[in-house]
Amino acid sequence: MGKIKSLEDLKKRKQDLQKKVDLRERADHPEAYVQIKVGMATSGIASGAKEIYDFLVEALEKRNVEAVVTQAGDMGYSYAEPTIEVTKPGEEPVVFGYVTRERADEVIEKYIKRGELVDGILPQNYRTIDDE
Amino acid sequence: MHLLVCGGTGCRASASDSIAESLKEQLHHHNMDHEVQVILTGCFGFCEKGPIVKVLPDNTFYTEVKPEDASDIVAEHLVKGRQVERLLYKAPSGEQVTDSRHMDFYKKQIRIALRNCGFIDPENIDEYIARDGYLALGTVLNEMTPQQVIDQVKESGLRGRGGGGFPAGKKWEFAYKNESDQKYVVCNADEGDPGAFMDRSILEGDPHAVLEAMAICGYATGADQGLIYIRAEYPLAIKRLKIAIEQAREYGLLGQQIFDSHFNFDIQLRYGAGAFVCGEETALIHSMEGERGEPTFKPPYPAQSGYLEKPTNVNNVETYANVPVIINKGPGWFSKIGTQKATGTKVFALAGKVNNVGLIEVPMGTTLREVIFEIGGGIKGGKKFKAVQTGGPSGGCLTEEHLDTPIDFDNLLAVGSMMGSGGMIVMDEDDCMVSVAKFFLEFTVEESCGKCAPCRVGNKRMHELLERITQGKAEKKDLQRLKNMCHVIADTSLCGLGQTAPSPVLSTMENFWDEYVAHVEDQRCPAGSCKELMRYEIIPENCVGCTACARKCPVGAITGERKQVHEIDQDKCIKCGACLDACKFDAVTIK
């Protein structure tokens, strides 16, 4: 994308980008996209988040699950790294901790495909500035 | 439907495993095991009222559940759809809370500086823009004068998050008022406290927030050059900052005539070698200039004569990260959070003997008890809380009696510690406070730049004294000497490093005097952690003479005939503890 020349330009660009992000969250066809964020700050990577990230990308592709895997910063759950946040379209995000390849596999097979929760959920215990 | 059962250490200790089992049995009994799933989760953080069972999707939150309550939960709630009232959480006001999202506890953390951390992809500027990124910079450049920006920051009450707590708006104003052909904006990312990783996490998770805030600061103070001083041992943060700067330049959000205004601003990185003293702003500036990283006397302050002797504004990473939100949401919104004298939130790196080690952000004025026992989930392994160290090597140790102190700059100073940059290390009953003080002093001895004598020589001498105390070789008068040295070093050092270096010693002496005395007078370490003061002994009544310990002892210090009571030769013993592990009859003890 080119340069942002003015405040209006930025606001317009924000709206476009927001739509894209929203599309992922409230898709017209709910089976469309699952969004997975992998906590990849230094502590996450040290605990093996990179491996989980690679595994997820590969496994989702192989199993034909339409999902977007992105890296994100520190979610704050250092005691439970690696952590991943899974947002299914139209649903609240769920954070899973202590993710191994086995658990990542379980998350795909059980939570993403069949809607069953699996062990290792981390309850969210903070507000964001959007809640205020 | 889902039943979430807390599987954290606290709840597990109160039989949450068997609660889950009972729930499964009851579900089976009611033929519901296909519709309802029971899941063990991570710690809910609400250990005080554990064990916790949460029902989804209606968010019903049951507290202090016992295995025998399972039948009621299934029969009443799941079969008949009626909540089990006696198990619902009662707010301190006495009101029953049916939906966990309305509980005050879950409002204890609010993420302002960490707003995008773990939420956006830090390597993609579009995600930052979708979350109102660079909106504050655009607003400032289009609609506000520099003075108005400064007024907003002043009004918000934002204070420096690096340790000192100096009002950020005032700092900006000083730099703004000092006229010069060239000014600089510096971001202090030289985070050095042991166990602290707040700034690193922000830079790794949301680098654009810092870039945007620095540009806003540049506009407010009249600077067109930004510099981030970051330690080379943060490679991931450096990588993501570089990507972020590249992307911002590409979008024209850094560079010439930003947002079609006359404002130009660009940012460069400067690497530090990881010296603790370079977190002090004058030392940091010298290091950036290529000089030795040594502090110099203030005044002149950096706002008068900083980088290359030009007016320079230095703020810490977390301070900057708050700025875009203040502009977007208004200073009034920000100042309503926290306390009157300390507005907003503070990020803490919670570490040590606490269950939920992690990165938290709480409003100023939250108490230490809330942080350690509710958000932190209490002490690991069900042990007893002993102390919490705040403020890193410059701070102090606080005890049980300080737990209800609301955290802010002034309150922590008043009880003998400090806010610092936000490291928080929790200690339990097994930690020896003399050793803790020694550990922090060792850090400052190593990190002292050596410029002034009190810090260079004094801290070294103090460390030697502490070493002797932990070896049981000190005399009573040494304690008084130690105390005197603390005061002399604090009073005569040039910079903050030396002035605050004795704090861990002073505060542990203040709060754990008995422990010091025990080391000196009885040659005993009450926590049982000082190796030199430990004695392994055999309890004759329990010893059956199995020779297991004698065979395991690596130095042959244990003697005794088969089926006779054994003995440990204290002169040979190296205190490795192998005999303690080997004994099956509890006949070996530590004294």
Q: In this structure, what CATH number is given to the domain that contains residue B349? A: 3.10.20.600
- End-to-end alpha-carbon separation of chain B, Å? 55
Sign of dihedral through CA atoms B454, B455, B456, B461? Answer: positive
CB B77 within 8 A of CB B45: no
Q: The tokens of B575 are what?
A: 């205190």
Using 50, 70 and 90 to split pLDDT, how confident is the model at B499?
very high
- Lowest-confidence region among A30-39, B390-399, B402-411, B469-478: A30-39
pLDDT above 60: residue A31: no
Instruction: Name B228's Cβ contacts closer than 8 Å, sequence gap at least 6.
Output: B186, B187, B189, B210, B214, B241, B267, B268, B269, B270
Q: How many CA atoms does the CB half-sphere of B338 hold within 13 Å?
A: 25
Asked whether residue B546 falls in the same domain as residue B514, the answer is no
Residue whose entry in the numeric block shows the structure tokens 């008890």:
B369
Asked whether residue B218 falls in the same domain as residue B292, the answer is yes
pLDDT above 90: residue B577: no
CB B431 within 8 A of CB B397: no
Asked whether residue B35 falls in the same domain as residue B164, the answer is no
Q: Provide mean pLDDT across the span B63-70.
A: 90
Per residue in B547-570, pLDDT tens?
Answer: 999 999 999 999 988 889 999 998
Instruction: Tell me which residue in A1, A73, A132 faces B206 most closely, judged by beta carbons.
Output: A73
- In terms of pLDDT, which residue wins out, B325 or B357? B325
pLDDT above 70: residue A23: no
pLDDT above 90: residue B265: yes
Distance from the Cα of residue B509 to its chain's centroid: 23
Among B17, B121, B199, B337, which would you mutate to test the A interface (most chain A Cβ atoms within 10 Å of its Cβ)? Answer: B121
Asked whether residue B404 falls in the same domain as residue B445, the answer is no
Asked whether residue B446 falls in the same domain as residue B563, the answer is no
H or E stretch covering B588? strand B588-590
* Nearest by Cα to A104 from A132, A63, A43: A63
Q: What is the tally of helices (H) and strands (E) in chain B?
A: 24, 20
Q: What CATH number has the domain bearing residue B542? A: 3.30.70.20
pLDDT above 90: residue B99: no
Pick from B470, B499, B521: which residue ends a domain? B521
pLDDT above 50: residue B258: yes
Asked whether residue B421 falls in the same domain as residue B444, the answer is no
pLDDT above 80: residue B95: no
- In percent, the amount of chain B with pLDDT more than 70 equals 98
Burial class of residue B458 in the structure, from the number of CB atoms within 10 Å of its CB (0-12 exposed, 13-18 middle, 19+ buried): buried
Asked whether residue B204 falls in the same domain as residue B71, the answer is no
H or E stretch covering B146? helix B146-156
Burial class of residue B120 in the structure, from the number of CB atoms within 10 Å of its CB (0-12 exposed, 13-18 middle, 19+ buried): buried
The bridge status of strand B225-231 relative to strand B184-189 is parallel
Q: What is the dihedral of CA B26, B27, B28, B34, to 10 degrees?
A: -170
Residue B527 belongs to some domain of the structure: no
Asked whether residue B409 falls in the same domain as residue B440, the answer is no
Give the pLDDT confidence score for residue A26 in this predicted structure.
46
CB B287 within 8 A of CB B167: no
> How far is the CA of B343 from the CAs of A55, A76, B112, B294, B441, in angstroms?
43, 22, 12, 32, 32
Is A78 in Cβ contact with B106 (below 8 Å)? Answer: no
Pick from B428, B447, B467: which residue ends a domain? B428
Asked whether residue B13 falls in the same domain as residue B101, the answer is yes
Asked whether residue B242 falls in the same domain as residue B356, the answer is no
- In terms of pLDDT, which residue wins out, B575 or B365? B365
Distance CA(A21)–CA(A27), nearest Å, equals: 10
Give the pLDDT confidence score for residue B465 in this predicted structure.
95
Asked whether residue B83 falls in the same domain as residue B16, the answer is yes
Instruction: Tell me which residue in A5, A80, A124 faces B252 most closely, judged by beta carbons.
Output: A5
Residue B384 belongs to some domain of the structure: yes
Asked if ipTM goes beyond 0.90, one says no
Number of domains in chain B: 5
Pick from B332, B364, B395: which residue ends a domain? B332
Is B105 in Cβ contact with A1 (below 8 Å)? Answer: no
SS3 state at B261? coil
- Cα angle value B91/B96/B102 (rounded, 5°): 70
Residue B116 belongs to some domain of the structure: no
Is B134 in Cβ contact with A10 (below 8 Å)? Answer: yes
Q: Provide mean pLDDT across the span B532-536.
A: 85
Using 50, 70 and 90 to split pLDDT, how confident is the model at B537?
confident
Q: What CATH number has the domain bearing residue B72? A: 3.40.30.10
Sign of dihedral through CA atoms B358, B202, B314, B361? Answer: negative
Sheet arrangement for strand B312-316: B266-272, B225-231, B184-189, B312-316
**What's the gap in Å between the CA of A37 and the closest CA on chain B?**
8
Rg (CA), chain A: 16
pLDDT above 80: residue A32: no
Tell whether A123 is within 8 A of chain B (Cβ): yes
Domain ranges of chain A: 32-124
Q: Provide mean pLDDT across the span B478-504.
A: 94
SS3 state at A131? helix
CB pairs under 8 A between A and B: 177
Is A116 in Cβ contact with B329 (below 8 Å)? Answer: no
H or E stretch covering B568? strand B567-568
Which chain B residue lies closest to A38 (C-alpha atoms)?
Answer: B118
Q: What CATH number has the domain bearing residue B302? A: 3.40.50.11540
Per residue in B285-343, pLDDT tens?
Answer: 999 999 999 999 989 999 999 999 999 999 999 999 999 999 999 999 999 999 999 99
**What's the gap in Å between the CA of A7 and the closest CA on chain B?**
5
Distance CA(B510)–CA(B416), nearest Å, equals: 9
Query: Per CATH, is A32-124 categorized as 3.40.30.10?
Result: yes
Q: Phi, psi at residue B369, to the nearest 5°?
A: -60, -45
Q: Facing residues of B424 across strands? A: B350, B390
- Buried b or exposed e, range B307-326, using 16+ CB within 10 angstroms: beebbbbbbbbbbbbbbbbb
Q: Provide mean pLDDT across the span B263-276.
A: 94
Q: What is the tally of helices (H) and strands (E) in chain A?
A: 5, 6
Give the pLDDT confidence score for residue B466 in this predicted structure.
95
Residue B293 belongs to some domain of the structure: yes
Q: Could you tell me the residue range of the domain that residue B399 belongs to?
A: 345-428
Asked whether residue B156 falls in the same domain as residue B21, the answer is no
Using 50, 70 and 90 to split pLDDT, how confident is the model at A116?
confident
Is A17 in Cβ contact with B42 (below 8 Å)? Answer: no
